[in-house]
Amino acid sequence: MAACGRLCAALWWLLLLSGSVCGDEPTASYIFPAGGQRGTTVEFRVGGHYLHDGAAFHIEGATGAVVDRLQRQQETVWFEGPLLPLPDDQTTPETDAADDCPT
């Protein structure tokens, strides 16, 4: 009987001393485009941290809640836009390190 009491006390202390386990909350880093014309439907993209496959999300409009949950798209593009080439002064030709060392 005393062993059962000690076991219960040990489990109680273990539960009391252990912190709650929780992950980081999802956060939105950007919403693109940043605005739209009133009265029109606007498609937008949301990027953030810890969104995983989906997250709760709330946007209110004149008619009430417009979006209540984000869903991950099948194909995502990171910061859409054209790939800009570097100017010639920022590109370096390949050189051998031995060529640059004084002899």
Please, are residues 50 and 24 in contact by the beta-carbon 8 Å criterion?
A: yes
Q: What is the pLDDT of residues 28-68, one digit of tens each?
A: 888 888 878 887 888 888 888 887 777 887 777 667 667 77
- Report yes or no on 72 lying in a domain: yes
Note the pLDDT of residue 68: 72
Asked if residue 8 is part of any domain, the answer here is: no
27: pLDDT strictly greater than 80: yes
Q: Which domain holds residue 58?
A: 54-78
* Residue 73 placed within a domain: yes
Residue 21 inside a domain? The answer is no
Structural domains of the chain, count: 1
Mean pLDDT of 67-71: 74
**102 cis-preceded (ω within 30 degrees of 0):** no
The model's pTM is: 0.43
25 found inside a domain: no
What pLDDT does 77 receive? 60
- Residue 63 inside a domain? The answer is yes
Q: Whole-angstrom Cα distance, residue 16 to residue 80?
A: 49
Residue 20 lies in a domain: no
